[in-house]
Structure 1
Amino acid sequence: MSPPPPPPPQARLLLDSAALIANWQDFARAVGGAACCAAIKADGYGLGARETLVRLAAVGCRHFYVAHWQEVPPLLPLPDGIILSVLHGVTADELPAALALPARPVLVTAAQVALWRQTGRPCEAMVDSGMNRLGLAPAETADVLAGMEVAVLHSHLACADDPAHPLNEAQRACFAEVTARVPAGAFALANSAGIALGPAFHLDLVRPGIGLFGGGLMPDGRVSRTVGRMQARIIQLRDVPAGGSVGYAAAFVASRPSRIATVALGYADGYARGLSGVAWASAAGVRCSAAGRVSMDLAAFDVTDAPALAEGDWLDIPFDPETAASLSGRTSYELLVALGQRFERVWA
């Protein structure tokens, strides 16, 4: 006997293909002749890497980046003409999988270069131009990569979200010195925020990430279009008298007789605890304030002024990453990648 089908999820992400595509197209227009790629690591910043790849490939994006080799198989089969690269390079224990998968490493250490050199295959490589994180030292790059077929030589900006920071220009100048000495098919420096620094940072290829998914600013200074919003099913409705409290630590106390909806959404789903008391939901266009603390699996909202609701109905919950970040004290990056697997992800 086959097992019964799984029950439907009690929370869902409603994802906007048009907003995703428009964000990528804005980046592509901003960089002129440079190739506009897409970073889709961490399952497309929590929204769905495979779905993102398919949609952006259909409108002209040809090159995608993930962080780890285990992120590659869920993206297969790749559409025709698509290049996939792995930002953290390759280690000896990853080499068998790397050789079997249709992706190439961005090599980040001299040891990785030596390992990959034995394969005779093309690679990409990362230069540390001042972030002091991953990458080859600028002084060693030419010697370490000598004789390698380097499809793309990268560096990564540490302070691109602060256009006035002097490290931006210092990194650009450092990388320019390296690119003058190291032959490669293309040179890449800018992430989402780096694109806004202007043509001197665009080079041959850019790698937008967070800006595709609703976080940060677009090159013209607008906030990135929101790609996802949440819905959560009401598990229980209850009437709370004036003076009654809701949730842990009695953090919410009703100032009037109130109707409270408790929904299947909590910080285990990535709905941050820091949104307690400051977030809201919507029912038929009526804004319903949060009532008490967000817990692991549940959140509560005051639906007193909303039209009549029933248990099993859905509440709409906005998820603009930048607004949620300002309310919760976390970054839009954290909030997006924390979105859990209990959501049904519904693309339109």
Structure 2
Amino acid sequence: MTLPEEPPRSLRLRLDRMALAANWRALDRLSGEAMAGAAVKADAYGLGVDAVVPALCDAGSRHFFLAHWSEVAAVLEHVAGSAISVLHGVRNAEEAAFAQATGVIPTINSLRQAKLWTESGGGTCHLMVDTGINRLGMALAELGDPLVQSLDVDILMSHLASADEASPQNARQLGLFHQATQQVQAGRLSLANSAGIMLGTDYHFDLTRPGLALYGGIAHPGLAGHIAQVAYPQAAIIQTRQLTAGDSVGYNALWTARQPTRVGTVSIGYADGFLRTMGPGSALQHAGDLLPVLGRVSMDMIVVDLTGSDAEEGDFIDLPGDLPALAQSSGLSQYEILTLMGRRFDRG
């Protein structure tokens, strides 16, 4: 059956490509002598690889970091395999063979992965060393193993755990990373994420790996003033109605009208990343008017107060997009807010 063209969606996400490019350039400049790469895992933090990667390429980014092998194909549409690194490494022979076939570079995290990569034919890889976050990465004691010493390591990297705060862990991790650099021959070194860039030149090495800050998140207080909002989500009003005093809204009747009130039902809910914690005290906007959220957030809908607004059924209204402010009001992290936006948004 041939389907007709899909009708316009009631959720859309506008990506400010100029702001995205400017953010990368700012982070590259703040990285000093190092070059900034770009973390584009999780579909470019939820904003869409097909829009984000070309904009970053145009800005000057040449290194792209993913988490899963399932994310590779979309990025290969825009850059060569040698520009892509998969941070989870190779779990099995199939992933190693895929890396060999595509030219995508695995980040080796364990002796087992080193063995798998070598047995697949080896070649250029990156190497993650754990310096204290205790997620992925080789222990320092393992770096002298012949399997590790035989690897062709382009980038030796580690990941900071507390770069967004003034923590003594940062200096400890830096010291351990310096120890690692004495044990492994590598073409380049990389330690800093978005927040780590703001820890200073000692943390920059050859390549930084910003993620959140590219997309408008303030991962460190020092980034304020350098980073612009990138994502502008909108949702359509799918019905308006007039309430009378005493009418309640939504599940469990958490909000009740005290006077006649015009409200709008909006086509977004927690299935689209607008979680219940984002409802209380928040507001959408239309033509500069604030439209407070009323009652409990549902899976596919919220209700807003249209008092004083001329918004009508079919109009698109602006969702909150200031990541630091929204994180503060909702209790969610900026990372969660970005990556939870669902597939129903038109990202075209």
Q: TM-score, normalised by structure 2?
A: 0.95
Aligned to 1:189: 191
How far off its partner does 1:113 sit?
A: 0.6
Decide whether the 8 Å contact of 2:190 with 2:206 is kept in 1: yes
1:99-248 matches, cutoff 5 A: 99-118=100-119, 119-143=121-145, 144-162=147-165, 164-217=166-219, 220-222=222-224, 224-248=227-251
2:213 and 2:250 map into 1 onto residues whose CA distance is 35
Decide whether the 8 Å contact of 1:195 with 1:219 is kept in 2: no
Secondary structure of the equivalent of 1:324? helix
2:191 and 2:80 map into 1 onto residues whose CA distance is 26
Q: TM-score, normalised by structure 1?
A: 0.95
Which aligned runs of 4 or more in structure 1 are off by greater than 6 angstroms?
none
How far off its partner does 1:218 sit?
A: 5.8
2:218 and 2:183 map into 1 onto residues whose CA distance is 34
2:238 and 2:82 map into 1 onto residues whose CA distance is 44
* The one of 272, 282, 286 aligned to 1:283: 286
Question: Given the alignment of the two structures, is residue 98 of structure 1 paired with residue 96 of structure 2, yes or no?
Answer: no
Aligned to 2:54: 54
1:168 and 1:188 map into 2 onto residues whose CA distance is 14
2:135 and 2:330 map into 1 onto residues whose CA distance is 28
Secondary structure of the equivalent of 1:142? coil
CA RMSD of aligned residues (A): 1.6
1:250-269 matches, cutoff 5 A: 250-269=253-272
2:178 and 2:294 map into 1 onto residues whose CA distance is 54
Deviations 1:230-259 (A, max 9, x none): 211111100011232111111112232111
How far off its partner does 1:220 sit?
A: 3.5
Aligned to 1:18: 18
Question: Given the alignment of the two structures, is residue 84 of structure 1 paired with residue 84 of structure 2, yes or no?
Answer: yes
How far off its partner does 1:81 sit?
A: 9.2
Aligned to 2:295: 292
Decide whether the 8 Å contact of 1:57 with 1:82 is kept in 2: no
Question: Given the alignment of the two structures, is residue 315 of structure 1 paired with residue 325 of structure 2, yes or no?
Answer: no
2:306 and 2:199 map into 1 onto residues whose CA distance is 45
Assess, with a 3 A threshold, how the Cα gap between structure 1 residues 220 and 94 changes in structure 2: closer, same or farther. same
Question: Given the alignment of the two structures, is residue 64 of structure 1 paired with residue 67 of structure 2, yes or no?
Answer: no
Task: Give the length in aligned residue pairs.
Answer: 344
Gaps of 5+ in 2: none
247-256 or 333-342: bigger deviation: 247-256
315-324 or 123-132: bigger deviation: 315-324
2:29 and 2:245 map into 1 onto residues whose CA distance is 55
1:37 and 1:142 map into 2 onto residues whose CA distance is 28
How far off its partner does 1:12 sit?
A: 0.7
1:44 and 1:294 map into 2 onto residues whose CA distance is 26
Decide whether the 8 Å contact of 1:130 with 1:171 is kept in 2: yes
Question: Given the alignment of the two structures, is residue 304 of structure 1 paired with residue 321 of structure 2, yes or no?
Answer: no
1:105 and 1:79 map into 2 onto residues whose CA distance is 16
Specify the code of the residue in structure 1 equivalent to 2:347: R
Aligned to 1:32: 32
* The one of 285, 310, 333 aligned to 1:331: 333
315-324 or 289-298: bigger deviation: 315-324
Decide whether the 8 Å contact of 1:26 with 1:218 is kept in 2: no
How far off its partner does 1:69 sit?
A: 0.6
Deviations 1:195-233 (A, max 9, x none): 111000001110000111111246744063211122111
Decide whether the 8 Å contact of 2:13 with 2:234 is kept in 1: yes
1:66 and 1:185 map into 2 onto residues whose CA distance is 20
Secondary structure of the equivalent of 1:145? helix
244-253 or 121-130: bigger deviation: 244-253
Secondary structure of the equivalent of 2:47? coil
Secondary structure of the equivalent of 1:343? coil
Question: Given the alignment of the two structures, is residue 249 of structure 1 paired with residue 252 of structure 2, yes or no?
Answer: yes
How far off its partner does 1:104 sit?
A: 0.7
Secondary structure of the equivalent of 1:290? strand
How far off its partner does 1:4 sit?
A: 1.7
